[in-house]
Amino acid sequence: MNLPSKAKSDPKPCLVEIEGISKSFPGVHAVRAANYGLREGEIHALVGENGAGKSTLIKILTGVHRRDRGEIRLRGRPVSFRTPLEAQQAGIATIYQEFTLVPFLSVAANIFLGHEFTERGLLNHRRERREAAALLDRLGGNFDPAVTVSELTVAQQQIVEIARAIARHSNILVMDEPTAALAPREVFNLFDLLRELAGQGMGIIFISHRLDEVLAMAQRITVMRDGVTIATRPTADYTRLELIEQMVGRSIEQEYFKDKVPIGKTCLEVMNLGGGMVRDVSFSVRCGEILGLAGLMGAGRTEAARLIFGADPRKSGAILLNGHQLDISSPHDAIERGICLLPEDRKAQGLILSASIKDNFALPNLKSWSRLGWIYQRREKERFSDRVNGLNIRLASQDQRAEELSGGNQQKLLIARWLEANTEVIIFDEPTRGIDVGAKYEMYLLIGRLAAQGKAIIVISSELPELLGICDRILVMRRGRIAGEIIDVGSATPEAIMTLAV
Amino acid sequence: MKDSIKKGSTGFFRSTWYKRFISDYGMVIVLAGLCLLFSLLTITEQHPTGVAAAEDLLKQIRELVPGGGPVLVVTSGSPDDSEFVRALKESPRLSRLQPLSFITGTPSDVRARMTVLDKAGQIPQYIITTHASSAMVDMITSQLAVFKDVAVLAPTSHKWPTFLMADNIRNVANQITVIAIIAIGMTMVIITAGIDLSVGSMIALSAVVVAWLVGRLGGEEASNVTMIIAALGGIILCGGVGAFSGLMVTAFRIPPFIATLAMMQVAAGLGYIISQGRPIYQLPDSFVWLGRGVDPLLHIPIAVILMLVLYALAHLVMSRTTYGRYIYAVGGNLEAARLAGIRVKLVLFSVYTICGMLAGLGGVVMASQLKSGAPTYGLTYELYVIAAVVVGGTSLMGGEGRILGTLIGAFIIAVIQNGMNLVNVESYTQKVVLGLVILAAVLVDRLKQRNFNFKALWHYKKKHHLNEHNLTGDEGGK
């Protein structure tokens, strides 16, 4: 009981002090006079919307970028890293979202990559394995250091990355969105590990979009907005809503949006759907209803959606729209019958990044403004401007490439596309993943508006508060089957969903 | 709003139409530069021949002796000279010249005839000849005392780049037609992120099949209809080969490189089997219409017209039709295209089929140019075709590229080859240069893909005193 107060009165020595750092790129002030401090044994979160300058600040610290102004001190000594290697040698290890492991080398080889144990010019495999095994043991990694990295799960690969950082005697660990690709159980394990490392004196810089995790993990939180570090405060001083307000820069009355919409007749009905890992899934959605699909990662939510959409081959079951059985064997069929899907990975599955925004918008809708294959471009431009203005999508020109849009605007572009296609059923797979807090609310408004138009909507999400906030009804999936249904969403809790999901 | 504009205009080449043009067809400038270079390098004395020479001489004579006077026309028997003499004789102004005689033949013939004239006392005021024969005339007149003082007139020469001679330009265009026609199909395939290595073999296959069919259906007496049927046969067969590659790529997911590498062998082998390894020559004279014929008005080769028409069509298809959009979409992101309801397998299959048909057409053109069909045709042509596409700015990663860029790419390759021939660069060196040009084109493509921002780099360097980090500029993302 005494420990926290003792820590407060006698703060541990600073590992990193960042003072007045500025950095501009041509046309953009990425970071302006930013301050940040990391103490020994501390987990200090850095939060902010996309483009707030978190990444740039971290890249300056780790020697990827060079600062324009300001000072960085490491244990009180001013430093200036010219390359990532220099930062690494000074004890700063960075673990990015995309891992930097070599997939076809063994775990041990990856851990000691660049610092191999050699004996007269030859690799000492035995010692490498032994040391690696000891490290993994310490980090709770129960896998063989001799297997190749490509055989590991994402969580295990993360442990390898951490082991590598420790092998290099790093005492500062930068973790950029470490939980993005982890299942809840794995997140739990990771947090245990990070707390333990902090307990041993390591300083951890924790960057995450998931505010619940930030609030649960960090001792202090620094909020960045528009390149400026707005505030650094102990975690206890923040509520979730306050944190969001700091990040967005304006007051937020509510995080979610739910309109009362009259729910009509049954629109989509799925019976005994099976295929891939999905077994015997049956449910229905009514017009104007927003149905949530909850479950752990790999529970079969996305797979079920893809079966309905015809993206994967269906082994069994029937799909009925307005009482008529549909014969869907490809996305092409589904779209023509009135079902569309916004995939979970916008960049890999939704957009043609190299194509223009307009072409992306037009792709499934070309038939409405072409004859015998000839595109009427004027009509296309009209339809495009109509939809883009209607959804308040910000863009420089319609010929801009889709990859240049922000995450929120990319998602809106995809919605604009399916609005134009005017389908009766819309399936959203993780509609707010990687989107700014402000843009999320806009997304909820949009989903609500679509429901109000009488469309049947299915939302798949891993963020339980989100599902509870916007859905009329929630189905929980587990191991490819429907494990339960939550009808009274208003009084349900995330825990109620989790008990059904695990 | 401002934010997104900033993000949108990071690329150097954006916003205004001419910048867009440079970005899309920057290779035009390279082509223009090459043409200028070779023009400057090949400036030489050009001597008019034939009709032009006759016109020039008639003008000279009119200025020298307005009233006209006795002239003697002396030429060797070469085709150019005969053309010259014929043009002179047909000219309405010939009578004013009072030609004494037209002497044509070997130096000894000419000397004999001139001695006869001398004896008859017929001494001309001027001797007219061509540039090619002027040396011979000079030699003879210096030997015959009477003619020593007679002025010899040859067409006036002028300085002009050999590269820009109409004949040479026609030559460049003719050389490139086969490659350029096939490059249309290859561009489509490469935009879908595929490749077709079998086009070179398909040239041979098509040429052999056409020649064989014409031989079977009438040989040297074959009618036009027969030849059209034979040509269609070659095109359809190659379309079938392409379709088979497409089937392997779509239905069995064999990588295009492997599928078409296999078909490259198959098509080449079929060509040898059908022709039994020998060239087929028995073709009617009219068979060369497509490959060597020219249009009556501007004397543009028929094959070049065909090529330009195909490019215009392909450009419209790729930029203005749903099919074109689908091709770009499939190449840009196959899965996203599929999830947007595009029948991606159909698109891929059709693209390989079209590429095969165009390769077949290329084979027909080549057979017509060479008036024969042999299984050795088109060897390594696939590499030139791919080079033309890549030099034209199409990304091998798929999703990006321009049909007209490919045409420019084909011309760049042809101009480099032709120009180096004109300035007497030996063929080994030519290969080295060509290879480096292709490499440079791919390098530009790479830098564009990395969003290499030259302008920003410049400002950045000025501001930061040659800071050597972060020159590739991916600071926006995380």
What pLDDT digit, counting tens, does each position of B259-288 carry? 999 999 999 999 999 999 999 998 898 888
What are the boundaries of each domain within chain A?
13-248, 254-338+423-502, 349-422
Alpha helices in A281-347 (DSSP H): 301-309, 331-337
Note whether B398 and B380 are within 8 A (CB): no
Of A125, A374, A142, A34, nearest in space to B318 by CA? A374
Distance, CA of B218 to chain centre: 32
- Strand ranges of the sheet holding A481-486, from the earlier edge strand across to the other edge: A339-342, A425-429, A456-460, A290-295, A473-478, A481-486
Per mean pLDDT, which of A12-16, A170-174, B254-258 is the most reliable?
B254-258
- Chain B hits for A54, CB-CB cut-off 8 Å, are 478
User: Scanning every residue of chain B, which has its alpha carbon at the shortest distance from the alpha carbon of A364?
Assistant: B340
Higher-pLDDT residue of A342 and B139 is A342
Lowest-confidence pick of A56-70, A116-130, B72-86, B213-227: B72-86
Q: How many CB atoms lie within 10 A of CB A337?
A: 17
Determine contact: B339 vs chain A, CB below 8 A. yes
Nearest to A374 among B5, B15, B321 (CB): B321
**b/e per residue, A66-82, with b = 16+ CB within 10 A?**
bbbebebebeeeebebe
Could you tell me the two tokens for A232? Answer: 């650094």
Question: Between chains, do B341 and A336 touch, taking CB under 8 Å as contact?
Answer: yes
User: Average pLDDT for residues B369-388, to the nearest whole number?
Assistant: 93
Query: Can you give the pLDDT at residue A328?
Result: 92
What's the whole-number mean pLDDT along residues A255-272? 88
Give the homologous superfamily in CATH for domain A254-338+423-502.
P-loop containing nucleotide triphosphate hydrolases (3.40.50.300)
Contact A353/B332, CB-based, under 8 Å?
yes
Lowest mean pLDDT among A31-40, A208-217, B197-206, B376-385: A208-217
Average pLDDT, chain A: 87
Please work out, in degrees rounded to the nearest 5, the angle formed at the alpha carbon of residue A452 by the alpha carbons of A446 and A458.
65
* Contact criterion met (CB < 8 Å) for B329 and A359: yes
- Mind listing the pLDDT tens digit for each residue in B3-21? 333 333 344 444 566 666 6
The neighbouring-strand residues paired with A118 are A123
- ipTM computed for the complex: 0.74
How many degrees, rounded to 5, is the angle at CA A101 between CA A98 and CA A102?
A: 125
pLDDT cut 90: percent of chain B above it = 42
pLDDT in tens, A252-262: 777 788 878 88
Asked if A375 reaches chain B (Cβ–Cβ under 8 Å), the answer is: yes
Q: How many CB pairs under 8 A join A and B?
A: 129
Whether residue A26 and residue B323 make contact (CB cut-off 8 A), yes or no, is no
Q: Which residues of B194-220 are buried (b: 16+ CB within 10 A; e: fewer)?
A: bbbbbbbbbbbbbbbbbbbbbbebbee
Whether B4 and A352 lie within 8 Å, measured CB to CB: no
Q: Is the pLDDT of residue B242 over 90?
A: yes
| Sequence-separated (6 or more) residues with CB below 8 Å from residue B372 | B207, B211, B279, B280, B281, B283
Same fold, A13-248 and A254-338+423-502: yes
- Domains of chain B, first to last: 17-36+165-449 (no CATH), 50-156 (3.40.50.2300)
Q: Do B336 and A395 touch (CB under 8 A)?
A: no
Tell how many helices (H) and how many strands (E) occur in chain A.
Answer: 17, 24
- pLDDT at position B449 is 57
Amino acid A5: pLDDT: 43
- The encoded tokens of residue A355 equal 């194509």
Report which of residues A39 and A495 the model is more confident about. A39
Can you read off the two tokens belonging to residue A395? 């863009």
- Report the sign of the C-alpha dihedral through residues A226, A229, A235, A236, in that order: negative
% of chain B beyond a pLDDT of 70: 87
Q: Is A502 helix (H, G, I), strand (E, B) or coil?
A: coil
Per-residue model confidence (pLDDT) at position B451: 54
Is the CB of residue A111 less than 8 Å from the CB of residue A77? Answer: no
Q: What is the mean pLDDT of chain B?
A: 84
Task: Give the β-pairing of A203-207 and A43-47.
Answer: parallel
Q: Is A432 helix (H, G, I), strand (E, B) or coil?
A: coil
- Is 60 exceeded by the pLDDT of residue B463? no
* A378–chain B Cβ distance below 8 A for any pair: no
Which of B7, B329, B478 is closest, CB to CB, to A363?
B329
Which range is least confidently modeled, A495-499, B146-150, B468-472? B468-472
Range of lowest pLDDT (A36-45, B44-53, B312-321):
B44-53
**Are the C-beta atoms of residues B23 and B405 closer than 8 Å to each other?**
no
Q: What is the mean pLDDT of residues B291-302?
A: 86
Q: Is B309 helix (H, G, I), strand (E, B) or coil?
A: helix
Give the 3-state secondary structure of residue A133: helix
Asked if A364 and B333 come within 8 Å (Cβ–Cβ), the reply is no
At A179 the pLDDT is 81
Assign a CATH topology to domain A13-248: Rossmann fold (3.40.50)
Residues of A whose CB is below 8 A from B339: 309, 311, 331, 341, 343, 349-350
The residues with which B151 forms a beta bridge, in sequence order, are B126
Closest CA to B420 of B37, B63, B98: B37
Which pLDDT score is estimated for B445? 66
Residues comprising chain B, all counted: 478
The SS3 call for residue B153 is strand
Q: Encode burial over B37-59: b for 16+ CB neighbours within 10 A, e otherwise.
A: ebbeebeeebbbbbeebbbbbbe
Cα–Cα dist A249/A231, whole Å: 12
The SS3 call for residue B46 is strand
- Report the distance separating Cα A167 and Cα A136, nearest Å: 11
The CA dihedral of A283, A284, A288, A289, to the nearest 10 degrees, is -20
pLDDT band at B448 (very low <50, low <70, confident <90, very high): low
Which runs of E-coded beta strand occur in A308-455? 316-321, 324-326, 339-342, 370-371, 374-375, 425-429
Take residue B317 and report the two structure tokens written for it: 């298809």
The phi and psi torsions of B356 (rounded to 5 degrees) equal: -60, -45
The residue among A326, A165, A406 whose CA lies nearest residue B8 is A406
Does B475 sit within 8 Å of A65, measured CB to CB?
Answer: yes
pLDDT of residue B14: 45
Asked if residues A53 and A34 have their Cβ atoms less than 8 Å apart, the reply is: yes
Cβ-nearest to B399 among A64, A354, A367? A354
pLDDT in tens, B310-351: 999 999 999 999 999 999 999 999 999 999 999 999 999 999
Tell me, yes or no, if B450 comes closer than 8 A to chain A by beta carbon.
Answer: no
Q: How many Å apart are CA A436 and CA A250, to the nearest integer?
A: 14
Residue B416 has pLDDT above 60, yes or no: yes
**pLDDT score at B198:** 96
For A362, nearest residue in chain B (alpha carbons): B325
